[in-house]
Amino acid sequence: MSKRTRIINDPSELVPLLQVFGSQRHKKVFDALLNLWMTKEDLEDLLGTDVTKSINILKKSGLIESQWHMPEPGKTPEKEYRTSYSKVQTNFQCSFEDMSDIIMLTFMPYEEVKDAIEELEQLVEQGNDSMSSLTRALNKSPLYIRAVARRSDKLSVMGQRLKVLQGGEAE
């Protein structure tokens, strides 16, 4: 079955995509879900490892969809997952400075970007969620702020606003 094409218009959307495809574990989960609906338990049995973080990052980057799997009578329903896209198309332009920031933010160890992520999370939790006010408060470009937000497990980019995610874990 031919799936949809993911269109990327914002360079900061590369952050979670590069994280997914820069990790063997996340890539294996993505590959396993290309053609089949699978539960978290099915994936863990197949790959022999915990897939919670992979599912979370795939969900956050919009690469997988979920539905409820109805088991045999008397058993609890479980979520099952499959990839949403089989192709990607990029359509953006940015400076090399912005692109280098995106690549650095994506591949830096968490400890090196932790302060920037936590500062942004704290501002958003306090109600400062508009891109224009965050750029003034942090003295950073909107693209940099969106890239940091996409690296965070707690934040989601919603147009010109950032939102704190509820729960944040795969179900």
Per the CB < 8 A criterion, the answer to whether 147 and 102 are in contact is yes
Quick one: CA torsion of 5, 85, 54, 52, rounded to 10 degrees? 130
Mean residue pLDDT of the chain comes to 90
pLDDT, average across residues 14-26 = 91
Please report the pLDDT score of residue 68 as a whole number.
93
The Cα 26–Cα 128 span in angstroms is 32
pLDDT, average across residues 119-146 = 93
Please report the pLDDT score of residue 70 as a whole number.
83
| pLDDT above 90: residue 83 | yes
Using a pLDDT cut of 70, give the percent of the chain over it.
Answer: 96
Please report the pLDDT score of residue 100 as a whole number.
93
Provide DSSP, 113-160: HHHHHHHHHHHHHTT--BHHHHHHHHT--HHHHHHHHHH-SSEEEETT
85-114: pLDDT as tens digits: 989 999 999 999 999 999 999 999 999 999
**Domains of the chain: which residue ranges?**
4-90, 96-164
107-125: pLDDT as tens digits: 999 999 999 999 999 999 9
Confidence of residue 2 (pLDDT cuts 50, 70, 90): low
Using a pLDDT cut of 90, give the percent of the chain over it.
Answer: 74
- The pair phi, psi for residue 88, each rounded to 5°, is -135, 145
- What are the distances in angstroms from CA 81 to CA 6, 22, 130? 17, 21, 32
22-31: pLDDT as tens digits: 889 999 999 9
Confidence of residue 167 (pLDDT cuts 50, 70, 90): low
58-76: pLDDT as tens digits: 988 889 999 998 888 888 8
The CATH class that applies to domain 4-90 reads mainly alpha
